Amino acid sequence: MVTEEQVRAWVEGYLRAWTSSNKKDIAALFTPQAEYHEWPYATDWIGRDAIVEGWQGRAGWQEGGWDFDWSLLTINGDTAAIEGTGRYKELGTFANLWTVTFDENDRCTMFRMWNNEI
């Protein structure tokens, strides 16, 4: 079972990787076979390499600055549900709901995000 501390550390790593767009930072979050799905966009990145490439392709989203507030909604076994709000100076504000499934090494095996502009 994943703990609140493990989820917190992973989200902190996620934010660090989103900020840096560094391949090593992004790759450290995901298993080699991880899946990353995002709705309502057609984002279905399968495998860590595809996730890294997809993230790096979105680096421009951060132009002008951004911030992200989040809270842990619940943990069910190896999966956490997270609510967040991302505010991008250039893109607007987005409400997020994430489910993140972890392996035994605290890396993500399955990431699902519902992303709604508000």
How do the domains of the chain map onto residue ranges? 4-117
- d(CA 91, CA 66) in angstroms, rounded, equals 9
Name the H helices within the chain. Answer: 4-20, 23-27, 48-57
pLDDT of residue 96: 95
pLDDT of residue 15: 94
Q: Which CATH architecture has domain 4-117?
A: Roll (3.10)
Taking the model in full, what pTM does it have? 0.93
pLDDT of residue 59: 77
What are the φ and ψ backbone dihedral angles of 22, each rounded to 5 degrees?
A: -80, 130
**pLDDT tens digits along 72-111:** 999 999 999 999 999 988 888 999 999 999 999 999 999 9
pLDDT at residue 10 above 90? yes
**pLDDT tens digits along 45-82:** 999 999 999 989 887 777 778 899 999 999 999 999 99
Please state, rounded to an integer, the average pLDDT across all residues of the chain.
94
| Residue whose C-alpha is closest to residue 68's, from 31, 113, 103 | 113
